Amino acid sequence: MSVNEQTADMVGRFAAHVDYLLAEHGVIRLECASSENACALRDLGMIITPAVVDECTYVTAMHELGHCLASDGGHEETIKRERAAWAWAEANVLCWTPAMAADKLRVMGAHGGTRPDTDIRTYERQARLDGVRQQLATTAAVRPRPRGESIAAFMKRRGK
């Protein structure tokens, strides 16, 4: 198998893994163009990520899935939420590669960093998400999780 074939094979497995997790947990994925705009709407059981075409887009999708599936992925404090989503991604990827580690470092800063929280981008993103959330909540296809229902129960019910 050539290097190109091996790479294509790996990317295929990454994409299939994300699809499997989405189906398994009843998470909906919408597509965005760039990892910069990737986000998770935990209360809607939804991630918005670019298509999985390489290691970085794979780890982006896994990180956003972590926001939905990690027990602490929806923590009130941004930094705890980000760390939990990364920890989930790192524990659940098919393999953890240097490119993935570099991607984490880029968005989180040095070990235990606080970059996402001190960043004004967080607030901009949150405002944008609130708009998306409102839009989605009004469409019949996406009903927000009722208050009091656990995220696991909500996703399970919706996944069936």
Nearer to Zn ion, 55 or 103 (CB): 103
In angstroms, give the least distance from the CB of 35 to Zn ion: 11
Nearer to Zn ion, 85 or 100 (CB): 85
In angstroms, give the least distance from the CB of 78 to Zn ion: 8
Burial of 106 (0-12, 13-18, 19+ CB in 10 A): exposed
In angstroms, give the least distance from the CB of 107 to Zn ion: 8
Mapped onto helix, strand or coil, the DSSP state of residue 28 is strand
Q: Where does 70-148 have alpha helices with state H?
A: 78-92, 98-108, 115-118, 120-137
Q: Read off the amino acid at residue 155.
A: M
Radius of gyration of the chain (CA): 16
In angstroms, give the least distance from the CB of 66 to Zn ion: 7
Nearer to Zn ion, 9 or 36 (CB): 36
Structure tokens at 5: 């074939």
In angstroms, give the least distance from the CB of 9 to Zn ion: 28
Contact residues for Zn ion, defined by CB under 5 A: 82, 85
Give CA angle at 84 (79, 85), nearest 5°. Answer: 100
Nearer to Zn ion, 15 or 129 (CB): 129
30 closest CA partner among 128, 100, 122, 132: 132
Nearer to Zn ion, 121 or 157 (CB): 121
